[in-house]
Amino acid sequence: MTSNSADDSRLTPRPRVSVEELARRKGVRPVESLDDMARDVFASDEELDEFLTFVRAERQAGLA
């Protein structure tokens, strides 16, 4: 069975909502300090080390 775009409800335009309104609805607050940014990003120091190793390798690869 085929459907045309007029029948596809996923294509129905949604009302535009500002980023501020979306953040308010989700309870998102602005970052107030660097400590806030660092919190809960990596599960462990090992995970952070793996990420930093990856970033360094990618940067070096881009220089080659």
Domain segments of the chain as ranges:
17-63
Predicted confidence band of residue 26 (pLDDT cuts 50, 70, 90) = very high
Cut 0.75: pTM above it: no
pLDDT above 90: percentage of residues in the chain? 39
pLDDT at 1 > cutoff 70: no
Which of 30, 50, 53 is closest to 42 using CA atoms?
50
Q: What per-residue confidence (pLDDT) applies to 31?
A: 79
